[in-house]
Amino acid sequence: MSPLAISESFLLATYRELSEFLKSVERRAFKQAYFAVHDDHAAVDVVQDSMLKLTEKYADKPIEELPMLFQRILQNTIRDYYRRQKVRNTWTTLFSSLSFGKDDEEQDPLDTLEAADGANRAQAPAEQFEQKQTIGLIEEELAKLPSRQREAFLLRYWEGLDVAQTAEAMGCSEGSVKTHCSRATHTLAEALKAKGVEL
């Protein structure tokens, strides 16, 4: 058998082993994800993302190493899900806490806002649906913001950077970050209010 044929045979065997491994863990991984995130669709997304990461980064690893690698990826993906949920809860809490009587552009709303407790608690289906709709509207309005406001908002409230880190990333002053964030949050909150969203 030629070296090329041997190489192709090895690749096929590796792919087959990986495929069989993923099939063998899929059901247990879904249950594990579901118990963690309390949502069928989110659990499926978590498992699929984890499998994709394993395939992209570790497909060439020996089969005996895959179970531990997959578990590590799965747990990290679940943590990422919770981080996104916490961010989304912070967004909705942020907008509901804004005082429209004040227009202090040097005030960063997060300076006076504490993230809602219980961000990782299980939500009722109606509550999940309402939050998804609200987040969809926020993301839609985010696209309409001036680029610097959008950048500041995402770095602060999505990536979780503090004011100093955001200023460094954007190459501007901390005061400018606060101004951009304040304008962005007020614009987004007003846009939601105009669409009848009460936060």
pLDDT tens column, 16-44: 888 899 999 999 999 998 888 888 898 99
Residue with tokens 């394993």: 54
Q: Is residue 60 part of a domain?
A: yes
Q: Is residue 50 part of a domain?
A: yes
Q: Is residue 92 part of a domain?
A: no
Task: Specify whether 60 is located in the same domain as 107.
Answer: no
The confidence band for 139, taking pLDDT boundaries of 50, 70 and 90, is: confident
Domain count, the chain: 2
Q: What is the pLDDT of residue 193?
A: 83
Q: What is the CA radius of gyration of the chain?
A: 22
CATH code at 16?
Answer: 1.10.1740
CA–CA separation, 78 and 46 (whole Å): 7
Residue 11 in this model has a pLDDT that exceeds 70:
no
Q: Is residue 157 part of a domain?
A: yes
How many CA atoms, within 13 angstroms, populate the side-chain half-sphere of residue 15?
6
Task: Specify whether 50 is located in the same domain as 129.
Answer: no
Contact between residue 33 and residue 15 where contact means Cβ atoms under 8 Å apart: no
Q: Which two tokens stand for residue 163?
A: 């004011």
Q: What is the pLDDT of residue 109?
A: 56
